Structure 1
């Protein structure tokens, strides 16, 4: 299967799980990405980045729709740059699942970044946002690295290209999430690892770090 066909396959399978996040705050707006991780009835949970949701009014758009759902920040963690939003959705939505480990995905393994690009450099069209997400291919560039904010936390180093609006997007490996994209440093793309997501969720839920508990088990407790 060639690269384009792989991208099409990943997009077809997962694009409805990837959402656009708009954060309004007076004279400025932020645009970012998130992805659906849980739904119980109408209650839907979205994983994204902390820095994406720092406006006074946070909204979420589902793939292909311009309707904006009011979002509540359920959990946030500045040091790891992670946050979880809650929205009220009356239709069943497809979810993305986490792979419990990122460290065993080897260098040069193929991964995909699901995101909403914000065309912020297109002639000043700052109010333009995409209705549908896209998928960018890449690969793992190095072993897990320590995050600058806390050596206990790790990040996935990858080569999937990113621009404005990509923060909060899932890094997908074999149809599972191994990271939450949060920054690009001198052409090095970085995503919060599954291991870090596990630690932060334990903090949110008051679970000791040495307790054996999977990300998916903890998501069900939220």
Structure 2
């Protein structure tokens, strides 16, 4: 019994840690999104590609620049907003999972992990590839930590949260099965105790045989329905 309670508490605390880490990832990603949304132009990214991707061939660098300009500032802002929306959905699902049954929580947390990893991966790519270009333009934005660092923190936070989830999911099933078995055993024990009490009353002549049989059928039928 004590082992079951400890496993249940451990699963609860790890699930809460998962939700908290996902929230942290969303906050970091929101910070990144605000930086990108405030950007009005993306001049200077050619210099960044020259410095950051000097190991690539010239045609690949040119292709990256052209792709960046084709996508445009508006499209990048829309992507950022969508990432925040989906990230918020992931957090809501993970927190809702803590309040639902174990079966529902497992499904919701699986969805939350998948969604969170997707939006964090997008932010990581955006942060690594376009961080310096954006920071050069936003002179009024004083960043103590670079956008790419925020991206890394966000992605790592969700990875840790995902690891916690996959550790707790099997334990949650095990705890649920143990608790269900324990509840059934307690109900069966109570049924036996009540039957013994009626048998004692019958032996003493307090109730008739017919009354005893009726009580027994009622208790056994109720026990089968609950199980």
Q: Sort the TM-score into its range (normalised by shorter chain).
A: under 0.3
Give the strand-richer structure, 1 or 2: 1
TM-score by length of 2: 0.21
Give the helix-richer structure, 1 or 2: 2
TM-score by length of 1: 0.21
Structure number with higher relative contact order (C-alpha < 8 Å, ≥ 6 residues apart): 2
